Amino acid sequence: MFRATKTVIGLDVGSYAVKAVALLPHGDRLTLQGYAQERIGTQEPVEVIRRVLEQLGVRSRRVVSSVSGRSVIVRQVETPRLAANELKAHISYEADKYIPFGSDEVIIDCQPLPDRTEDKATAMQVLLVAVRRGFVEDHISQLRNAGMTPEIIDVDVFALANAYELLGPGLANDPESKTATALIDVGASKSNIAIIQGTRLLFTREVYLAGNEITDAIVRTFNEPAENVERIKSAPGEALEALIDAAMPAFEDLANEIRLSFDYVEGQFEAQVNQVVLTGGSSQLPGIADILGNILGRPVHVLDPLAGMDLVPSHYDVHSLDANGPSLTIALGLAAHILTFPQTGLGGANSHGWQPRQSRDGSAASKPAVPSPAAHAPVITSNTPASNQIIQPPEPLQVPMQLRTPPPMAFSAPPIAPPPPIFTPPSASPIANMDAALDAALPDDDMGQSGGDSANENQRSGLLVVLDEDQEMPPSERHERGTTSSSAGIKRPTQTLKVESFDDDEGAQDKSGNLPELPRL
């Protein structure tokens, strides 16, 4: 484990898994120094957190974690126009009007929102956040028992918005725009909804419909153990059509809750929600973007938060990283909260191009929405020494950049994208016995992490290193992606992956220091 003075760690402790990332800025580039995740299951969360931090391979005092759930209150309130030093005192005094808990039971923070043109000059809109004190203390105690103390405790929905600002398309704010973007993080037990318009956060909500309800719907239909269903969901193969039919009631329930949020925003703010961006572990279910897009009548994309980042293959499993990219969005957004990095929109148009990975037999897991595989083909710059190579993403499309405001509610709206193709399930007939689907599923764990054995050679990520003709590599380091055909008849070229070592040049840092007893929100 090495230390890095500039590295920021984002730690996302969910109900299903613990995920951690370590980000390090290098000029105008952002490097993913570390990545680790592990499913919780029946284990003690403290032990899982401790193992994930050990696997991360990075030790830093700059750690950001988050809270969410029913103990977290997020409200937009109107207050008199006050100076920054007066606003928090006013909110604390008036807190009983806005939250269902006593003011002595909660930790409160607030931030002014950008003015809308119709706002009165004497009033201002303020985003109020209140979290039950005992809930925060329990979370901090859990992290300390795992061997670390966070610098800041954030809220999941703000981390989602920060990640999209930093790693999404990143177009400049248009004050005249009447359109909005919905960010939906579909996890295991709940879905976080954040609707943004330019740099303004219009609406946040937690919906307790997510991956568990999809799994339960499939379990009820096929009478199979949930563990088997979770494994099949990650690589359904010929079972995809049967799974979609069984899970459709859960998809419709989730879409109905999302539509209610859209109706509120469109009525309250006169802003049309013109596109949806999915993140989270359950957004990796093949076909979910097409299904929700058809129900909602809006284009739906799955975010690829890694599209604009530099990767270090010698520090982690790149195949597992790429396959689980959308589930890391919250963790990446947490690190972005205090990351000293001036740019936004690193992913460009490529950030809306994540696709499910291939199944065990090499067939496409779902109909590709983005036909070009180049969106996931990073290259190594020719002037990088062979012994110190970092996978770098392709140059994004030229889009305007803007400086990110340090508080956690500044982000940029993406361009309007055309609707995705109507979802068409595979032509294979539904599978009545799920044992056949289980045999076709990957032998990996439920997190979808892939190993390096020969049985999994066809399940490769889209993160590729393109080598010059005169470069050589040891046979043990060589992995090839076979040529396959998608359902649209599009050929995927054969590419070669090369994993090289990376020498960290950051200095050591003593981990001692006086941190606040209760990190601020």
Whether residue 438 is predicted with pLDDT greater than 50 in this model: the reply is no
Whether residue 365 is predicted with pLDDT greater than 80 in this model: the reply is no
Give residues with Cβ within 8 angstroms of 224, minimum separation 6: 218, 434, 438
Other Cβ atoms closer than 10 A to 23: 27
168-219 confidence digits (pLDDT tens): 998 656 666 789 999 999 999 999 999 998 878 899 999 999 999 999 999 9
Q: Do residues 95 and 106 lie in contact, with contact meaning Cβ atoms separated by under 8 Å?
A: yes
Length of the chain: 521
* DSSP, res 458: T
In a domain, residue 33? The reply is no
What is the pTM for the complete model shown? Answer: 0.72
In a domain, residue 234? The reply is yes
Comparing CA positions, the residue from 321, 330, 327, 346 lying closest to residue 462 is 321
In a domain, residue 143? The reply is no
State the average pLDDT over residues 112-140: 84
The residues that bridge with 12 in the sheet, in sequence order, are 19
Cα angle 30, 150, 344 (rounded to 5 degrees) comes to: 25
Q: Do residues 37 and 52 lie in contact, with contact meaning Cβ atoms separated by under 8 Å?
A: yes
pLDDT at 421: 35
Mean pLDDT is lowest, of 42-46, 148-152, 161-165, 448-452, for 448-452
* DSSP, res 382: T
- Work out whether the CA dihedral 188, 190, 195, 196 comes out positive or negative: negative
State the average pLDDT over residues 128-141: 95
Q: Do residues 329 and 305 lie in contact, with contact meaning Cβ atoms separated by under 8 Å?
A: yes
Max intra-chain CA distance, the chain: 70
Examine the domain organization and report whether 205 and 93 are in the same domain.
no
In a domain, residue 363? The reply is yes
Q: Which band of pLDDT confidence, cut at 50, 70 and 90, is reported for residue 158?
A: very high
Examine the domain organization and report whether 196 and 337 are in the same domain.
yes
Mean pLDDT is lowest, of 44-53, 243-252, 392-401, for 392-401
pLDDT at 355: 86
For residues 412 and 505, the model is more confident at: 505
* DSSP, res 61: S
Q: Do residues 200 and 114 lie in contact, with contact meaning Cβ atoms separated by under 8 Å?
A: yes
* Three-class SS state of 128: strand
In a domain, residue 226? The reply is yes
Whether residue 455 is predicted with pLDDT greater than 70 in this model: the reply is no
In a domain, residue 144? The reply is no
Examine the domain organization and report whether 132 and 165 are in the same domain.
no
DSSP states of 292-346: HHHHHTS-EEE--TTTT-EE-GGGS-HHHHHHTGGGGHHHHHHHHHH-------T
Distance in angstroms (rounded) separating the CA atoms of residues 333 and 165 = 9
Whether residue 62 is predicted with pLDDT greater than 80 in this model: the reply is yes
Tell me the angle at which helices 45-56 and 133-145 cross, rounded to the nearest 10 degrees: 60
Exposed/middle/buried for 494, CB within 10 Å: 0-12, 13-18, 19+?
Answer: exposed
pLDDT at 238: 86
pLDDT at 187: 95
The residues that bridge with 301 in the sheet, in sequence order, are 277
We report the CATH number of the domain holding residue 119 as 3.30.1490.300
Q: Which helix (H) or strand (E) holds 160?
A: helix 156-167
From edge to edge, which strands make up the β-sheet containing 191-197?
Answer: 200-207, 191-197, 179-186, 272-279, 300-302
Give residues with Cβ within 8 angstroms of 99, minimum separation 6: 73, 75, 106, 128, 130
Examine the domain organization and report whether 193 and 109 are in the same domain.
no
pLDDT at 122: 79
State the average pLDDT over residues 507-515: 46
Query: Pairing mode, if any, of strands 8-13 and 63-67?
Result: parallel
Examine the domain organization and report whether 261 and 307 are in the same domain.
yes
Whether residue 499 is predicted with pLDDT greater than 50 in this model: the reply is no
pLDDT at 4: 52
DSSP states of 195-238: EEETTEEEEEEEES-SHHHHHHHHHHHH---HHHHHHHHHS-GG
Count of the separate structural domains present in the chain: 2
Distance in angstroms (rounded) separating the CA atoms of residues 302 and 304 = 7
We report the CATH number of the domain holding residue 316 as 3.30.420.40
Exposed/middle/buried for 12, CB within 10 Å: 0-12, 13-18, 19+?
Answer: buried
Examine the domain organization and report whether 81 and 223 are in the same domain.
no
State the average pLDDT over residues 352-365: 59
> What's the N-to-C CA distance of the chain in angstroms?
29
Residue 165 Cα distances to 109, 218, 253, angstroms: 22, 35, 29
The residues that bridge with 185 in the sheet, in sequence order, are 192, 279
For residues 307 and 394, the model is more confident at: 307
pLDDT at 118: 57
* Three-class SS state of 34: strand
Q: Which helix (H) or strand (E) holds 48?
A: helix 45-56
Whether residue 426 is predicted with pLDDT greater than 80 in this model: the reply is no
In a domain, residue 274? The reply is yes
212: domain range? 161-497
Other Cβ atoms closer than 10 A to 432: 8
Whether residue 405 is predicted with pLDDT greater than 80 in this model: the reply is no
CA atoms within 13 A on the CB side of 392: 16
91-104 confidence digits (pLDDT tens): 888 888 888 888 88
Examine the domain organization and report whether 379 and 298 are in the same domain.
yes
In a domain, residue 147? The reply is no
pLDDT at 375: 34
Tell me the angle at which helices 240-269 and 211-222 cross, rounded to the nearest 10 degrees: 140
State percent of the chain over pLDDT 90. 47
State the average pLDDT over residues 367-377: 34
For 6-31, what is the HEC assignment?
CCEEEEEECCCEEEEEEEEEECCEEE
Examine the domain organization and report whether 169 and 117 are in the same domain.
no
Mean pLDDT is lowest, of 52-66, 143-157, 279-293, 346-360, for 346-360
Examine the domain organization and report whether 255 and 118 are in the same domain.
no
Examine the domain organization and report whether 254 and 217 are in the same domain.
yes
Query: Pairing mode, if any, of strands 272-279 and 191-197?
Result: unpaired
Whether residue 519 is predicted with pLDDT greater than 50 in this model: the reply is no
pLDDT at 237: 82
pLDDT at 366: 42
Examine the domain organization and report whether 328 and 469 are in the same domain.
yes
The residues that bridge with 17 in the sheet, in sequence order, are 39
Examine the domain organization and report whether 361 and 256 are in the same domain.
yes
* DSSP, res 281: G
Give residues with Cβ within 8 angstroms of 435, minimum separation 6: none
Whether residue 476 is predicted with pLDDT greater than 60 in this model: the reply is no
Mean pLDDT is lowest, of 128-137, 327-336, 456-465, for 456-465
Cα angle 7, 8, 10 (rounded to 5 degrees) comes to: 145
